Structure 1
Amino acid sequence: MAYRAFLLLSATLSIVAAALARAPHIAADSGVPADASTTINANFFTFTGLNRTLWGEPTDGSPFKATTANQLDFPALADQSVSSTVLQFAPGGINPPHIHPHASELLVVFHGTLTVGFVDSAGKLFTQQLNPFEVFLFPKGLVHFQANLSPRVYGVALSAFGSSNAGTISLPKAIFGSGIDAEVLAKAFKTDAATVGKLVSANAY
């Protein structure tokens, strides 16, 4: 029992130490802007963009929708090393392979069943099927995805990030929608120019 308590205390202190090491302004209460025109009250620290209307299937007809609460949407998060995103999946919807260069991601499913996974730097795939209130970790900077493979049930999940702006790089768009020469892409993926042209068209910004 004492040994378990020691391990728990050690783990807690390690987490706190890591959090303090990442905090950019340890002496500040919050990332309140210096701009005197900004009114600082409880509303400044409140974000209503993740209200209950988001906790269902996407209403715009899209197969997947991500609604963020990061520093860009919620200025109070500046320097706080935390942000979140609501993920909505229509039946069959996917969040394509992508990376977050600035933070790890902790995802909890609230509705439906999601198939998730990431690929490590050695090329090994770690995949799991998540049910409501099950949690999965995507390590920082690794390629990962989420998919709702159900043909009938929508999915909803909430992601938390250890950064006020985790950043998202969608691999299909970064590769086929960025203007990389089609000949380079055809050789890299060992395919033909016509196939690359279709992928470029599908991922054009």
Structure 2
Amino acid sequence: MARSFELVLLALLVAVAIASPLALAYDPSPLQDFCVADTSSDAVFVNGHVCKDPSQVTAGDFAFAGLHVAGDTSNAFGSRVTLVDARAVPGLNSLGGVSMARLDLAPGGLNPPHTHPRAAEVLTVVEGEMRAGFLAADGTLFARVLSVGDAFVFPRGLVHFEFNCGDRPAVGIAGLSSQNPGLVRVADSLFGANPAVDDDVLAKAFRIDAATLQRIKAQFATKK
């Protein structure tokens, strides 16, 4: 009888291992752009932030004040993002990956096409209206106009944007599935890179001539 029970238990364990291989070989999500292995040093670098001494933790480490304050949208894009991540709230560190943000858009304001390489995002409109959308890997655009109370999801790593299509300021609150979601603005990354991306590469990729390329790059030169 005992032998039969052991065989049944072994069979169950094998079945679980086959059915859920990801649980047996799982890599945690990265919290930074890269982490190059250093095999010659004893220095401590971690995927995220080093933990604070528990005896020094206070309630303030878990709090953030300011999401009620409107962001300054007096810039070229007419937008401002106030990010609440593990740098703003240290208590978020290692809690399974979560952060949030406030998005302010002036009338006609744009949060330019960008990606979050480490996070999916859900956006809820709390004031005004905005057109939000993302591009799938095959180039399909998924977009719609959002009003107060509407929510929209941006899948992890896909290019997305928000545009205030109304006549008054718009505000959104977003939740992101990483304590450090990362931000890659498409145009800034390509035309304002440092060191610069080769002109031949950009000209051919965007099918533009050298003079047009230089005019575009000049718009980003002062942002480095």
TM-score by length of 1: 0.78
Q: Secondary structure at the match of 1:53?
A: coil
Which one of the candidate residues 184, 199, 202 is aligned to 2:216?
A: 199
1:128 is paired with a residue whose SS is strand
Which residues of 2 match residues 123-202 of structure 1 at below 5 A?
123-150=139-166, 152-178=167-193, 179-202=196-219
Instruction: Write the letter of the residue equivalent to 1:61.
Output: S
Aligned counterparts, 1:88-99, within 5 A: 88-99=104-115
CA distance in 1, matches of 2:50, 2:170: 37
- Supply the RMSD in Å over aligned alpha carbons: 2.4
Aligned ranges 1:1-205 → 2 under 5 Å: 34-36=51-53, 39-50=56-67, 52-54=68-70, 58-59=71-72, 61-62=74-75, 63-80=78-95, 81-150=97-166, 152-178=167-193, 179-204=196-221, 205=224
The separation in 2 between residues aligned to 1:32 and 1:99, in whole angstroms, is 22
Tell me the number of residue pairs that the alignment of Structure 1 and Structure 2 aligns: 175
Unmatched 5+ stretches in structure 1? 1-17, 25-30
Query: Unaligned regions of 5+ residues in structure 2, if any?
Result: 1-22, 30-47
**TM-score normalized by the length of structure 2:** 0.72
2 CA distance for matches of 1:190 and 1:32?
42
Look at both structures and tell me which one has the larger radius of gyration over its CA atoms: 2
**Structure 2 vs 1, CA of residues 170 and 38 (structure 1 numbering), >3 Å: closer, same or farther?**
farther
Distance in 1 separating the partners of 2:51 and 2:131: 44
Q: Where do 4+ consecutive residues of structure 1 move more than 6 Å?
A: 21-24
AA paired with 1:72? Answer: R
